[in-house]
Amino acid sequence: MRWTPSGRGNVDDLRGQSAGGMGRVPMGIGGILVLLVLSWFTGIDFLSLIGNNPAPQTQSTGTSGEVASSPAEEQTVLFVNAVMEDTQQTWEKLLGSRYQRTRAGIFRDAVQSACGTADSAVGPFYCPGDRKVYLDLSFFNELQSRFGAPGDFAQAYVLAHEVGHHVQTITGIESQVRQRQAQGGDRNALSVRMELQADCYAGVWGYHANQGGRFQQGKIELDPDDLEEGLRAASAIGDDTIQKRSTGRVMPDKFTHGSSAQRVDWFKRGFTTGDPNACNTFQS
């Protein structure tokens, strides 16, 4: 993947912030594995417990300050900014004035968001409360070493997926799903549909980036092997793959993000069509 640095206009650097408070945020990719292991050995459905207790609104008790950062980490910050900029330019073209920009809050160890306190184990997440993406940069190393999904486009897929959740929020899909869950709908099944749609939205961005950045003035362009990187990442973080790795058993009723096959299918659907209307996972 080829990309051009474009400053830091899409990034909030929270690496010097102290996180306080007792609120929780929804589990991201990294935290699911831990809860699955606990559920397996104790017989308690920890994933459902998390899902049934939305995080309270809290405020940060820390302050931002200067932090030591290696040249490699600074390059990653610029990469995150470039992907966020490119992805959002795509959605501005697709949604027009309906689209409202978000930012990526990068942190170390822990962070305070409007959805509560999160540590690195939670993985990347999107908080509807403040409409912001959050990411500990160390997750990119974990994506390669723990999930076996190397490559810059795999990293870009993760960011584009979180921006997909932002699209769901500003278009009203997120609030509709939460309402259905509160009214007794199958929480896990609805969560899976939300996550698969975000995968498809990530693919939609990939489609337009693959057109030579026609929306983005060439700031990001894909290489021939980038699609495979994205598909490998989507497969590596499927619920069945994670469950089998952690417990040796696949439990479909505990899925919250979708199987590897589902995630690959929906990401590929967005990537081949470039059309958000092809991402209606709620009618499939």
The proportion of the chain whose per-residue pLDDT surpasses 90, expressed as a percent, equals 64
Tell me the residue range of the domain where 140 lies: 2-279
For residue 11, being part of any structural domain is answered with: yes
For residue 267, being part of any structural domain is answered with: yes
Q: Give the closest residue to 19 by CA, choosing from 67, 66, 62.
A: 62
pLDDT per position as a tens digit, 122-180: 889 999 999 999 999 999 998 899 888 989 999 999 999 999 999 999 999 999 999 99
* Strand residue runs (E) in the chain: 2-3, 11-13, 104-107, 110-113, 116-119, 125-127, 132-136, 220-221
Would you state the pLDDT for residue 76?
95
The proportion of the chain whose per-residue pLDDT surpasses 70, expressed as a percent, equals 80
Would you state the pLDDT for residue 42?
32
Residue 252 burial (CB count, 10 A): 11
pLDDT tier for residue 221 given thresholds of 50, 70 and 90: confident
pLDDT per position as a tens digit, 251-268: 999 999 999 999 999 999
- Domains identified in the chain, total number: 1
Across the chain, what does the average pLDDT equal? 83
Half-sphere exposure for 226 (CA within 13 Å, toward CB): 21
What is the C-alpha separation between 132 and 16, in angstroms, rounded?
18
Which residues contact residue 121 at a Cβ distance below 8 angstroms, ignoring those fewer than 6 apart? Answer: 30, 31, 34
What is the C-alpha separation between 70 and 137, in angstroms, rounded?
12
For residue 284, being part of any structural domain is answered with: no
Q: Beta strand 220-221 with 2-3: parallel, antiparallel or unpaired?
A: antiparallel
For residue 101, being part of any structural domain is answered with: yes
Question: Coil, helix or strand for 131?
Answer: coil
